[in-house]
Amino acid sequence: MTHKMNNTMSEATLGGQFTFPGTPLTVQRIGYGAMQLAGPGVFGPPKDPDAAVAVLREAVAAGVNHIDTADFYGPHVTNQIIRQALHPYPKELVIVTKLGARRPSDGSWQSAISPQDLTAAVHDNLRNLGLDALDIVNYRAMGAIHGPAEGSIAGEVTVLADLRRKGLIRHIGVSNVTAAQVAEAQVITDIVCVQNNYNLAHRDDDAMIEDLARQGIAYVPFFPLGGFTPLQSSTLSAVADRLGATPMQVALAWLLHRSPNILLIPGTSSVAHLRENLAAGQMSLSPQSLAELDGIAGT
Ligand SMILES: NC(=O)c1ccc[n+]([C@@H]2O[C@H](COP(=O)([O-])OP(=O)(O)OC[C@H]3O[C@@H](n4cnc5c(N)ncnc54)[C@H](OP(=O)(O)O)[C@@H]3O)[C@@H](O)[C@H]2O)c1
């Protein structure tokens, strides 16, 4: 895919700013998801560690101040690369991590949600990122194969709230969760963000996004670029061609238009793709384009 938009970035173009509710943490709405920096299958080191470092430095140089990660990416590898590339961190950088999984030596994804697991994971993140406290930690529920599954997350969120009282975590979010689970977590502690699977084609969370927007809570879609059927992709490509942009840029710009509480964390291991993704913040979509894009979910 070619990069069709101007590469010149400034902070003003990264989708504008968002402040996590009840926090001093303000970020540009276009951030960066670090999952792609580990090796294949999010396991082991990347083929080209220097390239991974370059992507992170380029992102921060372009004004990105919100990086999403997890110590179970690699495991440990992604956080170690972030530290190598960016430590000591710029004071405006917000690193958001997540807990709830571990990666045995076979590369599988196992849940790790006992109080001991969650506490150990906080310390893994602190050590590998080189921090004394974590800005925002998401409790990532394992859910079902294709998404969240109902069931209490009160025990796990309570552990995070205790770690927050101890000063190891500053703010708490939840991930891969249902609306009922968000509400349950909010009874236990302040929730500043929700990270779920959402994009142009996968819109199960439309109502949740509106509800969180009313409360000023960030909604951070994962897989912002993924899972389009050929028909959906062809509609997206047609709109993108008309706008002189790439389909990925249009998918990201649509998310920015969708709701002001949506923060983007597109993942890439490529500087060229990073630049392309950041340039999505400069796009404006007409009502006609938005209507066509809104139709994609129904196809
Ligand atoms: N909470 C959760 O359960 C959860 C789950 C998954 C992900 N996440 C977080 O969400 C972030 C985003 O998710 P993701 O990285 O899985 O998916 P994504 O952002 O939807 O897509 C990433 C994929 O798209 C490719 N890509 C990125 N920009 C591109 C471009 N401009 N043109 C063409 N291809 C492009 C990347 O390949 P290249 O490397 O070749 O660019 C990669 O294969 C992750 O990094 C992670 O931090 C959270």
Q: pLDDT digits over 262-292, tens only? A: 999 999 999 999 999 999 999 999 999 999 9
Q: Please identify, by atom number, the ligand 1 atom nearest to the C-alpha of residue 222.
A: 10
Q: How far is the CA of 162 from the centre of ligand 1 (A)?
A: 31
Q: State how far the Cα of 72 lies from the Cα of 157, in Å rounded to an integer.
A: 18
Q: pLDDT-derived band of residue 1, with 50, 70 and 90 as boundaries?
A: very low
Q: How far is the CA of 266 from the centre of ligand 1 (A)?
A: 5
Residues contacting 273, CB < 8 A, separation 6+: 248
Instruction: Output the average pLDDT for the chain.
Output: 94
Is the pLDDT score of 6 beyond 80? no
Q: State how far the Cα of 193 lies from the Cα of 220, in Å rounded to an integer.
A: 7
Q: Spot the catalytic one: 73, 139, 198, 219.
A: 73
Q: State how far the Cα of 290 lies from the Cα of 284, in Å rounded to an integer.
A: 10
The residue to mutate among 225, 228, 269, 270, having the most atoms of ligand 1 within 8 angstroms of its beta carbon, is: 225
Mean pLDDT computed over 60-66: 98
| Ligand 1 atom 45: residue of nearest CA | 33
Ligand 1 is surrounded, with C-beta below 6 A, by 1, 33-36, 68, 98, 140, 175-176, 195, 222-226, 248, 265-270, 273, 276-277
pLDDT above 70: percentage of residues in the chain: 96
Q: State how far the Cα of 22 lies from the Cα of 113, in Å rounded to an integer.
A: 27
Q: State how far the Cα of 189 lies from the Cα of 192, in Å rounded to an integer.
A: 10
Rounded to 5°, angle at Cα 197 from 121 and 102: 20
Residues contacting 81, CB < 8 A, separation 6+: 34, 37, 46, 49, 52, 53, 56
Predicted local confidence at residue 9, as pLDDT: 44
Q: Tokens 């996004």 appear where? A: 209
What are the E-state strand segments in 118-217? 134-140, 169-175, 191-197
| Ligand 1 atom 37: residue of nearest CA | 268
- Tens of pLDDT, residues 191-246: 999 999 999 999 999 999 999 999 999 999 999 998 888 888 999 999 999 999 99
Q: pLDDT-derived band of residue 4, with 50, 70 and 90 as boundaries?
A: very low
Predicted local confidence at residue 109, as pLDDT: 94
Is the pLDDT score of 3 beyond 60? no
Q: Please identify, by atom number, the ligand 1 atom nearest to the C-alpha of residue 249.
A: 31
Cβ burial of 233 (10 Å; 0-12, 13-18, 19+) is: middle
* pTM of the shown model: 0.95
The residue to mutate among 7, 97, 129, 222, having the most atoms of ligand 1 within 8 angstroms of its beta carbon, is: 222
Q: State how far the Cα of 176 lies from the Cα of 170, in Å rounded to an integer.
A: 21
Q: How far is the CA of 225 from the centre of ligand 1 (A)?
A: 7
**What single letter denotes the amino acid at residue 232?**
Q
| Ligand 1 atom 3: residue of nearest CA | 176
Predicted local confidence at residue 220, as pLDDT: 98
Q: Please identify, by atom number, the ligand 1 atom nearest to the C-alpha of residue 199.
A: 20
Is the pLDDT score of 90 beyond 80? yes
In degrees and rounded to multiples of 5, residue 123 shows phi and psi of -65, -35
Q: How far is the CA of 19 from the centre of ligand 1 (A)?
A: 23
Q: State how far the Cα of 176 lies from the Cα of 159, in Å rounded to an integer.
A: 18
Predicted local confidence at residue 7, as pLDDT: 39
What are the E-state strand segments in 249-299? none
Known catalytic residue at 219: no
Q: How far is the CA of 22 from the centre of ligand 1 (A)?
A: 29
Q: Which of 120, 116, 32, 115 is nearest to 72 (CA)?
A: 120
Q: Tokens 């080191």 appear where? A: 45
Q: Please identify, by atom number, the ligand 1 atom nearest to the C-alpha of residue 276.
A: 31
Q: Tokens 């006992």 appear where? A: 114
Q: pLDDT-derived band of residue 12, with 50, 70 and 90 as boundaries?
A: low
Is the pLDDT score of 260 beyond 60? yes
Predicted local confidence at residue 249, as pLDDT: 97
